[in-house]
Amino acid sequence: MPVSDFQPVIGLEVHAQLLTQSKIFCGCSTAFGAEPNRNTCPVCLGMPGVLPVLNQRVAEFAVRTGLALECTIRPTSVWSRKNYFYPDLPKGYQITQFDQPICEHGRLVIDTPQGEKAIRILRIHMEEDAGKSVHDAGGGQSLVDLNRAGVPLLEIVSQPDLRDADEAVEYLKAMRDVLVYLGVNDGNLEEGSFRCDANVSVMPKGSTTFGQRCELKNLNSFRFLKQAIEYEIARQVDVIESGGKVVQETRLWDVNKGVTRSMRSKEEAHDYRYFPEPDLPPLHVSAEAIDAAAKALPELPRAKLQRFTSQYGLPAYDARILTAERPLADYFEACAGHYKDYKKLSNWFLGELMRLLKEEGTPLSALRFTPAQLGELLGAVDQGMVSANAGKDVLGEMFRTGKAPADIIAEKGLAQVSDTGAIEAVVDDILAKNAGEIEKYRAGKKQVFGFFVGQVMRAMKGKGNPALVNELLKKKLGD
């Protein structure tokens, strides 16, 4: 059977580092990039006698995320210990949630070529991150840095509802957008603050029984996620085609070779011996707290995108870019309060503004001009006070200096000449000097019209209002 006769089945486990100041169970900083073990204390070092105390923001973020993903929030969720030995796991167990996680039964809607598709969320739970082991330290040693031990994570587990690599990528992007919108995660795949494992299996098309699945790790970009899943699907089909059986295992995406390879487990079969964490009472979330969190929930990326197309009449393409990040969408809406041609506004956003932001590496929050000033500039362009081209220069200047558009136009002499008398004088002068060209025009060589426009604009150093120049020329040439 060819690959096309198989149906891939994919589920994703997302690990999102929560944007808290302090760790999940102690007051150490979650800051990235410190000297090894600089951000550690007896609690996250797993010293004798220490006890965990939950950072309440972790619970708040979990509830917020659960609500955004349409989950049921458990009024009482339970902490468990997952027991295993590893040098970067200081206590010899990870504090996590097991059979009673804080959120369950949610969904996230994604776009597929066949239309919208809801991917079910099985569960969301809170847990602590482990530290980091460096194996190539030399001297036959591995080095252990526990700065990351105890950083709060949300694990978001989907149902195996994804059917190909593209859907998986779409899901992961949509998930990232939601988490970033909620302000709970920075969405950074490269630095590992937003990570993903993929469970992949294949079954003959039409079958209802899932095949044996493999867990793929080290998928730290959307591209790797797609490549790894596609590779893995092909590999599993190969195994089955050649009469073999897919073995349930964890496989690592090898970036350099572009293959997944088995992480041969050197240790014995895992037995995590989960049991309820006696040091932490169950977490209670009141109905009032859930209500309050639901009310405070921001508009989510998908809803915002739909509103941008309906409320502002924007094409889906524009709306998608404008709503990709919450600050940009917010800024667009602020500007829309001052300028009503939304499509034109969108063009300026997608063109000049985003180019400037990118080139100058400026965050939106550091913009020096107000939405009202941008509206003012676009109004000036519409009214012919300044040409569209000159308007771009004005925007650049506003971007760099924060000066008012009117001041920039005046200072730089960018104001467009829209005085009919002044333009008429120039038009008359040019026509007087080019009698031969007038003959050609009147003989039917209409392209000469462009020549006259060019001559007038040159004489006016580009400041003539193009609409008026055209209008007057046509009148004088007897059209």
Site of interaction with other proteins (CB under 8 A): 20-22, 26-29, 35-42, 45-59, 78, 81, 83, 85, 87, 90-93, 133-135, 137, 139-146, 263, 266, 268, 271, 273-276, 278-284
Q: Which is nearer to other proteins, 273 or 368 (CB)?
A: 273
Of 428, 430, 425, 417, give the one whose Cα is nearest residue 461: 417
Rounded to 5°, angle at Cα 390 from 387 and 396: 140
Which residue, 121 or 283, is less far from other proteins as judged by CB?
283
* Close Cβ partners of 244 (under 8 Å, ≥ 6 residues apart): none
Of the pair 77, 323, the CB lying nearest other proteins is at 77
Q: Based on CB atoms, which residue is closest to other proteins, 170 or 197?
A: 197
**Nearer to other proteins (CB atom), residue 82 or residue 302:** 82
Question: In degrees rounded to 5, what are phi and psi of residue 319?
Answer: -60, -40
Report the residue number, 25 or 312, with the smaller CB distance to other proteins.
Answer: 25
Closer residue to other proteins, CB minimum distance, 139 or 361? 139
Closest distance of CB 200 from other proteins, Å? 22
d(CA 155, CA 148): 16
Buried b (16+ CB within 10 A) or exposed e, 357-372: beeeeeeeeebebebe
Q: Which two tokens stand for residue 166?
A: 């593209």
Q: β-strand 275-276 against 72-73: which pairing, if any?
A: unpaired
Nearer to other proteins, 116 or 268 (CB): 268
Instruction: Give the chain's length.
Output: 479
Element (H, E) at 424: helix 420-433
Q: Which is nearer to other proteins, 51 or 294 (CB)?
A: 51
Q: How far is the CB of 50 from other proteins (least distance, A)?
A: 7
Q: How far apart are CB 160 and other proteins at their closest, in Å?
A: 23
Whole-number Å distance between alpha carbons of 56 and 79 = 14
Work out how close the CB of 69 gets to other proteins at its nearest, in angstroms, rounded to a whole number: 22
- Biggest alpha carbon distance in the chain? 101
For the bound state, the minimum distance from the C-beta of residue 359 to other proteins, rounded and expressed in Å, comes to 36
On whether the CB atoms of residues 289 and 76 are closer than 8 A, the answer is no
CB of 386 to other proteins, least distance (A): 49
Compute the least distance from the CB of residue 54 to other proteins, in Å.
5
- Minimum distance from residue 37 beta carbon to other proteins (Å): 5
Question: Alpha-carbon distance 28 to 150, whole Å?
Answer: 9
State residue 17 phi and psi, 5-degree precision. -75, 130
Tokens linked to 273? 């011996």
CB 102 → other proteins: shortest distance, Å?
12
| Residues in Cβ contact with 33 at an 8 Å cutoff, skipping those fewer than 6 apart | none
Q: Which residue has the tokens 């007051």?
A: 27
